[in-house]
Amino acid sequence: MIGQGRSGHPEPAEPAKDLASPPRVAGRPDPSVAALPQDDRIRAEGFVRAARLADVPDGGVLGVALGTGARRVCLTRLGASVTALDDRCPHAEFALSAGELLADGSVECAWHGARFDRATGAVLQGPACEPVVTHEVLLLDGDVHVRLAP
């Protein structure tokens, strides 16, 4: 679950999970959700299908629009580990998905070179001063699902 950090920004999303069983709602299970088919359970818990895992380049990034397209996320992948960040650099709002995933696991913005931790969104190199918002990721049956941070 994502909480608010001291800075008021969301705390890092947990790494992606590949669930053999349905995702759990934080706290206690919701019986009305548990009775739903798997796809409906995922939606009921706020996850949106973002991409096929095979479409996310291993060692790279993929920008995708969620839902009505109003919100874009930048998916990053290292093997079976997928993370999701807002597809908007906090420095000057350039698309992070136009950048690249570096060997150290950071995402580099293509415009001015700011670097961010792919899992936490933390700034690793300026000129950006603010972290990137991160989102929860769920891997299921070869699909990447994202639950947007508020």
Residue 127 Cβ, how far from ligand FES at the closest point, in Å?
6
Q: Where are the beta strands (DSSP E) in 4-133?
A: 17-18, 48-52, 61-66, 71-78, 81-86, 100-101, 106-108, 115-117, 123-125
To the nearest whole angstrom, how small is the minimum distance from the Cβ of residue 99 to ligand FES?
8
Q: CB of 148: closest distance to ligand FES in angstroms?
A: 21
Nearer to ligand FES, 53 or 89 (CB): 89
Using CB under 6 A, which of 13, 64, 85, 89 touches ligand FES? 89
62 with 48: CB under 8 angstroms? no
* Nearest residue to 136 via CA among 124, 146, 144: 146
Is 61 an interacting residue with respect to ligand FES (CB under 6 A)?
Answer: no
From CA 37, how far away is CA 64, in angstroms rounded?
A: 25
Residues that bind ligand FES (CB under 6 A): 89, 91-92, 94, 109, 111-114, 127-128
